[in-house]
Amino acid sequence: MQGSGQASATSLPIGSDADLAWVRQEVRQCAAGLGFNLVQQTKLVTAASELARNTLVHGGGGQVEITPLDNGRARGLRMRFIDSGPGIRDLELAMTDGYTSGGGLGLGLSGARRLVQEFSVDTEPGRGTTVTAVAWVTQMPASRPGVA
């Protein structure tokens, strides 16, 4: 998945609401630097915001690792949200639209999954949770001949 052009990861703590703003800012800056267009940047920032909030609220805090990727054909961004919280007892249920354990809209995990190309959750009750989300820069289609 990653090639020799991979830059080093940035790790940020997630322990307060203020940290959520830093996560969003770092994801946007990294995505812009990799060439993600504005719509793609917004999707990444939205996914990061949802996953960081889950890390804080449900996992008791943790960290995010933001890693630029380059596989030789495309550039991308990997976000890995890690906590040592209680874990997710029923992952299938937690991934269902509308399911919430905290009074929210129930779109955190399932919504974030739809905003990226690759998504995985490693969790076990009592062991914590790691959510990994990867998005790849997609190019806008070339304009048709004769269209400005």
Burial of 103: CB neighbours in 10 Å, binned 0-12, 13-18, 19+: exposed
What tokens were used for 136? Answer: 């790849």
For residue 77, the number of C-alpha atoms closer than 13 Å in the C-beta half-sphere is 28
- Whether the predicted pLDDT of 147 surpasses 60: no
pLDDT, tens digit, 9 for 90 and up, residues 79-100: 999 999 999 888 888 887 665 6
**Single pTM value for the model:** 0.84
Which has more pLDDT, 52 or 102? 52
Taking residues 124-131, report their average pLDDT.
Answer: 93
